[in-house]
Amino acid sequence: MPRKGVVMREIVFGLVGRGLERLVGEGVLPGEVLAAFPGAGTEIKVERPRERSHGDFSTNAALVLARLAGMKPRDLAQRLLSAMPADLLDGVRCELAGPGFVNFHVSPERLRNVIPVILQRGADYGHSRAGNGQRVLVEFVSANPTGPMHVGHGRGAVTGDVIARLLSAIGCAVEREYYINDAGAQIDVLGRSVLYRYREALGCPTEPPADHYPGEYVIDIARALIARDDKKWLATPLSGKPPVEVVDLAIELVMGEIRSDLESMAIHFDHWFSERTLHAEGGITRVMAHLQANDLIHEGVLEPPKGREISPEEQDDRLQVLFRATRFGDDADRPLMKADGTPTYFAADIAYHFDKARRGYTRLIDVWGADHGGYVKRVQAALEAMTGQKELLDVVLTQMVNLTQGGKQVRMSKRAGTFVTLREVLDETGSDAVRFWFLTRSSGAGLDFDLDLAKSRSNDNPVFYVQYAHARVHSVQNKLKERGLSDEEGDLARLTAQEELDLIRLLGMFPETVESAALSREPHRLTYYLSDLAAMFHGYYNNYRILDEDPGLRGARLALVRATGRVIANGLDLLGVSAPESM
């Protein structure tokens, strides 16, 4: 009898692996085939067939290896079939199918085994060690401290946080980091914007600075500045660099808002990394020296941008310091120094990412808005230049969020200061709706967020749909007590209906869903899984009485229902969404 807790998929991998070993031993196949299997480098796969009649698992091994063996695929498949060890075959029926697939049908007895496994492992079910203890740093949000978060930032926030949760679940050591761009030109703009509103509030208005942030929040900061410093800054000019004391207060207040928004969505960071520390601690000079020493910097003239017309006056023929990004696959060499002698944002970003690498993470993940997509190559290029490591950094890009209400689009414009903030949306719909909804699409696809639907208590609202499935699980159990029915262990063999076996199969796929969502950095896979699971459960619930009079059957169905509730709860937990027991 196979051990409880061993995932079915692993057993099938074992079957195929041992079968191949034997064929190698018999000289049918060359030894190399074993080196790769079941790693990533092989074409040989064990997968879940779409078609149910094709079984629970299927392998293409014979199709892939037919040429190497000099045999027809079906003949090789037949050899593989007879080479598989009988001791692992308990409850698994294998057959040759199609052009040379070997299909594995798992018996109902074996399938049902997952129910006690889920109930035993509880909150741990779905967790694994597939991540192999890797140290991963996920950097996300990193919204500039120049204004409140908008919904687009929110999407990045949820995406990053759930990627981090998923990676933890598969056994990675994950840390979350927020990069604060608290140095640079946009911060000066913020400072001047505050001074402008400050003078306005004190009754000494001036012309607004050429570039300024129009939002209400700037006025709030100005008021706070008055409260703290009174008229101290009235004589300060609105051009040039604003005083540090003013800028720092502004950053502190804006970051306070951002932190509280994140807090409302239960997003916690391990590190808040300030760009200023890079400048202060010489990180940038270190990077420049390193690049210089490796002949990765040269002086050159920047090619004019291709996308727009450049007037002759605008044209810049100046020699400047460029990083040889083209050596690492980027389209152009990128500037490291501004005309005023200060480093570019890119230079700081190299230093920042190099700093991450030096902290010893085996993997870096950045979540950016899609509008920064053009930036991916150069940062990856720089990181490779600094560390010699390729593919250390994964960048996940999130597309825009369109807010709608009653079918009409809610217009957002940062320039006009009328954008709808994340805070407003959170107050309107709540964290659960926002978190779940932001993951109902792959991050690369645009997303419509319907404010009305997201807070509606209807089956059209995917959040409620899944949460309600969970609530139902508990509602049945309450009913059981209410009626004073006995809660016996039940006989799982009584679960013979097609719907029951399908539900059980789906429960068994939860761990691999978590794993694939984590490894591919695609949290939406989990969202889809939960919606499917909820749908299947609702269907089952509607067509079968859980609280049957027969205690044996009742107990079995209750176990299935509880296992389903467990999986939904675990899944929602990975999404950071609550699993209410009643609604």
Partner RNA sequence: GUCCUCGUAGCUCAGUCGGAUAGAGCAACGGAUUCCUAAUCCGUAGGCCGUGCGUUCAAAUCGCGCCGGGGACACCA
Binding to RNA, residues 356-415 (CB under 7 A):
370-377, 397, 399-400
CB contact at 8 A, 368 and 443: no
What three-state secondary structure class fits 398?
Answer: strand
Nearer to RNA, 233 or 436 (CB): 436
Smallest gap from Cβ 257 to RNA, in A, equals 17
Residue 129, class by beta-carbon neighbours within 10 Å (0-12 exposed, 13-18 middle, 19+ buried)?
A: exposed
Among 216, 331, 487, 489, binds RNA (CB under 7 A): 331
Among 12, 546, 568, 569, binds RNA (CB under 7 A): 546
Binding segment toward RNA, per CB under 7 A, in 30-38, 82-90, 232-240, 330-338: 330-338
Nearer to RNA, 308 or 408 (CB): 308
Task: Report the site for RNA in 420-449 (rule: CB under 7 A).
Answer: 441-442, 444-448
**Residue 98 interacting with RNA (CB under 7 A):** yes
Instruction: Tally the residues of the chain.
Output: 583
State how far the Cα of 463 lies from the Cα of 294, in Å rounded to an integer: 53
State how far the Cα of 559 lies from the Cα of 491, in Å rounded to an integer: 9
| CB atoms closer than 10 angstroms to residue 341 | 6
Nearer to RNA, 157 or 199 (CB): 157
**Residue 99 interacting with RNA (CB under 7 A):** yes
Smallest gap from Cβ 203 to RNA, in A, equals 32
CB contact at 8 A, 175 and 136: yes
State how far the Cα of 170 lies from the Cα of 173, in Å rounded to an integer: 9
**Residue 465 interacting with RNA (CB under 7 A):** yes
Nearer to RNA, 114 or 233 (CB): 114
Nearest Cα neighbor of 184 from 55, 80, 274 is 274
Nearer to RNA, 138 or 453 (CB): 453
Q: Quote the Cα angle for 571-472-122, to 5°.
A: 40
Smallest gap from Cβ 88 to RNA, in A, equals 19
Among 31, 122, 205, 304, binds RNA (CB under 7 A): 304
**Residue 335 interacting with RNA (CB under 7 A):** yes
Nearer to RNA, 245 or 499 (CB): 499
Smallest gap from Cβ 227 to RNA, in A, equals 28
Strand partners, 180: 274
Task: Report the site for RNA in 10-69 (rule: CB under 7 A).
Answer: 40, 43, 45, 47-51, 53-55, 58, 60, 63-64, 67
> 């409302």: which residue's tokens?
264
**Residue 525 interacting with RNA (CB under 7 A):** yes
State how far the Cα of 408 lies from the Cα of 327, in Å rounded to an integer: 48
Binding segment toward RNA, per CB under 7 A, in 5-13, 19-27, 115-123, 310-318: 310-318
**Residue 289 interacting with RNA (CB under 7 A):** no
Among 3, 129, 306, 481, binds RNA (CB under 7 A): 306
Task: Report the site for RNA in 221-250 (rule: CB under 7 A).
Answer: none
Nearer to RNA, 4 or 318 (CB): 318
State how far the Cα of 458 lies from the Cα of 470, in Å rounded to an integer: 15
Smallest gap from Cβ 351 to RNA, in A, equals 13
- The CA distances from residue 107 to 90, 178, 228, 347, 501, in Å, are 9, 49, 73, 60, 10
Give 120's DSSP letter.
H
Among 196, 217, 436, 541, binds RNA (CB under 7 A): 541
Smallest gap from Cβ 57 to RNA, in A, equals 9
Kind and range of the H or E run holding 522: none
**Residue 486 interacting with RNA (CB under 7 A):** no
Nearer to RNA, 246 or 379 (CB): 379
Binding segment toward RNA, per CB under 7 A, in 19-27, 159-167, 246-254, 301-309: 301-309
What three-state secondary structure class fits 428?
Answer: helix
Smallest gap from Cβ 116 to RNA, in A, equals 21
> 């009742």: which residue's tokens?
554
**Residue 512 interacting with RNA (CB under 7 A):** yes
25-32 long-range Cβ contacts below 8 angstroms, 24+ apart: 26/83, 28/69, 28/71, 28/76, 28/79, 29/65, 29/68, 29/69, 30/68
- Say if residue 38 is preceded by a cis peptide, omega within 30 of 0: yes
Among 162, 386, 439, 476, binds RNA (CB under 7 A): 476
**Residue 543 interacting with RNA (CB under 7 A):** yes
State how far the Cα of 399 lies from the Cα of 568, in Å rounded to an integer: 27
**Residue 458 interacting with RNA (CB under 7 A):** yes
State how far the Cα of 274 lies from the Cα of 380, in Å rounded to an integer: 21
Task: Report the site for RNA in 166-225 (rule: CB under 7 A).
Answer: 181, 184-186
Question: Is the CA virtual torsion 338, 343, 345, 351 positive or negative?
Answer: positive
